[in-house]
Each structure stands twice: as structure tokens, then as C-alpha cells.
Amino acid sequence: MPDELDFLRRSLAARRLSRRDFLARTAALGVAAPMATLVLADAARAEGPVKGGALKAGLVGGESTDGLDPAVINNQVKGAFARCWGEKLLDVAPDGTLVPFLATEYGASADAKVWTFKIRKGVTFHNGKELSAEDVRATIERHAGEGTKSGALGVLRGIDTLKAEGDEFIVSLKEANADLPYLMTDYHLIVQPGGGKDAPEAGIGTGPYRIAVHEPGVREIGERYGGYWAPDKRGHAEQVEITVINDSAARMAALRSGQVHMMNRVEPKVVDLVKRLPGVSIQNITGSAHYVFAMQCITPPFDNNELRLALKYAVDRQEMVDKILAGYGTVGNDIPVNKAYPLFSDDIEQRAFDPDKAAFHYKKSGHEGPIVLQTSEVAFPGAVDAVQLFQQSAAKAGIALDVQRMPGDGYWAKVWNVSPFSASYWVGRPTQDQQYSTAYISSADWNDTRFRREDFDRLVVAARAELDEAKRKAMYRDIAMMVRDEGGAIIPVFNDWVDAVSDKVGGYRPHPAGELMSGLALVSCWLQE
């Protein structure tokens, strides 16, 4: 057996044997499917990327109103397609370290208030213009400027001045920030010519693919850009295509039929079914992503903290882990960070389902009548079922939830960050400061709970400037307790990322920062046959 398997492995690596024939031959030898798949993956790594073909993904999250401006990326389709045509200064590796993209190196002054990024030479935009430090400066200026609607605004609030000098981009901060390079990994900060000030919707970037087709809510197609600066690392397929398939069953059918090679958001309840599909593997990984029921703290009746506490105690978190995530996740604690984050305090008491405490706080709130909670199948995998479970557990405390199921198309534009109480999700961020600055400080455009406290804002700013790790950890604990006990975010669970990928795809590596390799699957993977 070992000799036969080794022969088949070498034949596969030398491309004398197709993947399909390899699987058939190993099955005939009695090799278990998981072992054969593992050998297959090892062989794929050994042979390296294969150029050519059309790599296709079926994704949930696209809408008919989707544009190309990176500043307003707010769903999976826009985010994944932007990774195809655009790039940032830096990115985050699966192990949490920083990876250079358009910046080759960076450094800080002793007080961490001035940061300098050296911009890569020999990079061109799809319109032929050479990348410059001025393009980078203008990009960050646009996202941080007055009147911007950028989702990155919250993390850029501490900037004092921006300069471009030769091939260097220099950021001066009002207060020290040891995490500043991580802020530059925010997925909105795609570098555009002239910062995108004149044409933010043009979709011109430095990525391995230029835009060929943009049909919002239907499909996105990119064609390989011949002038890409790193063709050995990314852009292996001749063409990449995203098909918007918001229905879970339809996505699975498309993967099974070969219409697409990968899909996001496999609902945990069907994972075992997907595992039985021939030529398909489940790719899952734990990270910082979490599901949220967001209450707007400035909007009645959610401007009453007693009501907010009542609803937090009315969630059966373990039930959601068991029934919605099927074990692919952990319980949340109404804090948007977990042990995946540096300086996380693991001594905070876990909030548990307690109908008596929920009823106590509900009575103190003085509220009467049903509470409207809006959701959709696109809010997160199993969102409709999760809200129904929430409705049932809340009823045990005498709290009536009026569940409203909204259409998927338009949910992220018309419900999330608009409705007083809605279901959503967060992918998490590389640092605690970035998570809190993006979604919780008063000035953040994506503060979907409208949590606005000056003392909280000051503490977040002070924590990012504190270079003593022990003191900084204590600050983050205080920040977490404010959000947990007074904020508008009900965070019942932290979810695994669960994708499904065809065995025709090579180079796939799950990433804790997000689904489909944190959006890089289409640009980093290749077709093996």
C-alpha cells in the first residue's frame, strides 16, 4: 500500500495522472477519502500554482445597488471583488503578522506618533499610471476627510497630518498609536489613482485583475491584468468571476454542478450534507467574527439601558451555538472581542441566559408591547432561525419580539445601520482598537448601535496611545465592560468561517480574518485541472 500510494502521489505531482483518476485509484486501494484529500493537497502544494482558466465563486451578500467605491464596501461581494482589482498598503497574515503589499516597509518615531511607509516601486494602476506616495496620501485623505462616508473613518480619526515625500508616505498622529500599521489593513483603504477623489466608482486599482463586467447584484468579472507587479504570487487564473447567489440551497447546487468552484457561508446545519458531496471539501477556521443583534441606543425604546439589559439576558447563547452554529463557534458575551485578540481579558464573567433577570430588568424599563427585530437570510448564516430562537427564549421572560423578515436585496443599505433593532455580523478586526474605533466610538460612521459616550471615546484614544502593555490591557478591560453592560450590541456567538471548495481549486488556506481566505481566495488560488 505505501509504495502504491507513493507512486500515485509522484504521478500526480508530475501531472501524469489527473486529480479525478488519482481519487479513483486511491479509492480502489482502500484509502479513506480524507487521507486521499490530504495527499492531494500536499501534491498541489508541491507542484505550485497553475496558470490559466476561469476561477468562479458563488457568494451571498450582493445587492442591486452595489457600487465600486471601496469607501462604502459593506457586503461580501463588494469586499471580495475589491480584493481582485485593488490593494492596500499592508495585509494581515493568518498568524496575525503584517504582510507588505503596496508598502515594502514601515517604521515609527520613538513616541509612535509619526509613521513612515515606503511605497513599492514599479507598480502601475490599470490605467497605466505609476503608483506614487501621493496616490496613497490622497487615498487616506479621502477616507479620513470631512463629509466622507468611508467605513474606515473611525480608525482614521486620530490623524493630524498626511505627507508624501519622494517614495515615502508619512502619517503624523494627534496621539500615539502602536497599532497604526494594522489600521492600514482596513478593507476600505484600497489605493486608487489620485486617491479616487475624482472617480471613486471607476474601479481602477493595482490588483491582479481589471474589471471586465460589473452587474450589481448579479455578477462581477475580472480579467487578468498583464502589468501586475507580483504575477508569481497572485492572479493565477486568466479570469475570476463572482456570481451573486443569496439563497443557500442555490449556492450549494451551483457548487455541486460545477457552476462555481467555491462558496461562502455554508450554513452549519448543512455542513455534514456538503461533506458528502463528491469533489468538495469544507474549509472552516475560528477567528474573531461574531453575530450581532444591534440596538440603537439613542432610539426609543432602546435608549433605556434596563431594556437593553433585559434583552441581553433573554438570549440563550449556548442554544444558538448548538442549533445555529452546530458547534462551529463559541458563546459571546456582548463584547466584540475574544481571545483571538491581543490583550484580551479572559476574567470577565460570562453572561448567561437568565429569564428571571431578563424579566426583572424588563419590568424596570417600564416598556410594554412587542419589540420589532428585523432580520434576513443574508444577515448571517442561519439568521432567520437564530432570531426565532431569540423570540422563543425572550418569551420565557415575558418579552414579546415582533420578528420581521426583510428581503436580502437592500438589507445592508436599508436595514443594517438604519433600523433601530436588526440582525447583522462583524468580521472582526486585527486589533481591539480597530474594532472599537470602527464600530463603537461616537464618530464612527459604522457605529450601528449608536453607542455615544465621551468617556468611552477618551478611553479608546488613551488606550491606543498607551505603550505599557499591562496598563493598556487594563484599559481594554474597562472598555469591554462599558460596551457589555451599557452598549447596544447583543453578541450571542462568535462564529467559525465555513466555506465549501471544489477539489479543483489549489492553494486554498483558511484565514481567521474572514471567509474565502479573508477575500483573497480568487486572487491567490488556482485551478488544478
Q: What is the pLDDT of residues 202-252, one digit of tens each?
A: 999 999 999 999 999 999 999 999 999 999 999 999 999 999 999 989 999
Q: Is the pLDDT confidence value at 139 over 60?
A: yes
Q: Which domain holds residue 268?
A: 54-63+207-286+497-527
The pLDDT assigned to 428 comes to 85
Task: Quote the pLDDT of residue 36.
Answer: 57
CA Rg value for the chain:
24
pLDDT of the residue at 340 = 87
Q: Cell for 446?
A: 459604522
Q: Which H helix or E strand runs over 173?
A: strand 168-173
Boundary (domain end) residue, out of 164, 196, 228: 196
* Cα–Cα separations (whole angstroms), residue 158 to 137, 147, 148, 437, 456: 15, 16, 15, 10, 15
Please tell me whether residues 313 and 262 are part of one structural domain.
Answer: no
Least confident piece of the model among 26-35, 122-131, 277-286, 328-337: 26-35
Residue 74 in any domain: the answer is no
Cell numbers standing for residue 509: 488556506
Is residue 230 domain-shared with residue 309, that is, in the same domain? no
Confidence of residue 131 (pLDDT cuts 50, 70, 90): very high
E-only strand ranges, 485-524: 489-495, 497-502, 505-506
When the pLDDT of each residue in the chain is averaged and rounded to a whole number, the result is 92
- Within 8 A by CB and 6+ apart from 81, the residues are 220, 222, 242
Confidence of residue 342 (pLDDT cuts 50, 70, 90): confident
Which pLDDT score, from 0 to 100, does residue 310 have?
Answer: 98
CA-to-CA dists, residue 122 to 90, 404, 520, angstroms: 17, 52, 22
Amino acid at 379: A
365 lies in some domain: yes
Tell whether 162 and 257 lie within a shared domain. Answer: no
Q: Pick from 88, 92, 89, 58: which is nearest to 70 by CA?
A: 88
**Domain assignment present for 71:** no
pLDDT of residue 9: 61
Instruction: Please report the pLDDT score of residue 122 as a whole number.
Output: 97
Lowest mean pLDDT across 33-47, 80-94, 480-494, 497-511: 33-47
178 — pLDDT class (breaks 50, 70, 90)? confident
Instruction: Report the pLDDT value the prediction gives residue 159, as an integer from 0 to 100.
Output: 95
Lowest mean pLDDT among 22-36, 123-137, 414-428: 22-36
pLDDT score recorded for residue 460: 95
At residue 41, the pLDDT reads: 55
Contact 377, 248 (CB under 8 A): yes
Q: Map grid coordinates 466555506 to a residue.
A: 499
Q: Residues for the chain: how many in total?
A: 529
338 and 416 fall within a common domain: yes
Q: CA 227 → CA 214, 230, 520, distances in Å?
A: 21, 9, 19
511, 430: one domain: no
Count of domains forming the chain: 4
Does residue 40 surpass a pLDDT of 70?
no
Inside any domain, residue 76? no
What number is the average pLDDT over the span 61-89? Answer: 96
Burial label, 258 (beta-carbon count in 10 A; 0-12, 13-18, 19+):
exposed
CATH number at residue 404: 3.10.105.10
CATH of residue 118: 3.90.76.10
Omega before 420 within 30 of 0, i.e. cis = no
Residue 294's φ and ψ, nearest 5 degrees, are -95, 120
Nearest to 427 by CA among 55, 56, 61: 61
**How confident is the model at residue 155, as a pLDDT?**
86
Q: Is residue 185 part of a domain?
A: yes
* Structure confidence by residue, pLDDT tens digits, 284-328: 998 899 999 999 999 999 999 999 999 999 999 999 999 999 999
The pTM for the full model equals 0.81
Q: Are residues 370 and 456 in the same domain?
A: yes
Same domain, residue pair 334 and 420: yes
CATH of the domain at 257: 3.40.190.10
Q: Is residue 262 domain-shared with residue 379, that is, in the same domain?
A: no
Confidence of residue 157 (pLDDT cuts 50, 70, 90): confident
> Are 16 and 43 contained in the same domain?
yes
What local confidence, expressed as pLDDT, does residue 445 receive?
Answer: 87
Residues 246 and 307 in one domain: no
Average pLDDT of 374-402?
96
Nearest C-alpha neighbor of 318 from the set 336, 335, 331, 337: 331
> Is residue 175 one of the residues assigned to a domain?
yes
Tell whether 202 is covered by a domain: no
Express as a percent the part of the chain with pLDDT over 70: 91
Do 487 and 509 lie in a common domain? no
Could you tell me if residue 478 is inside a domain? Answer: yes
Are residues 8 and 146 located together in one domain of the fold? no
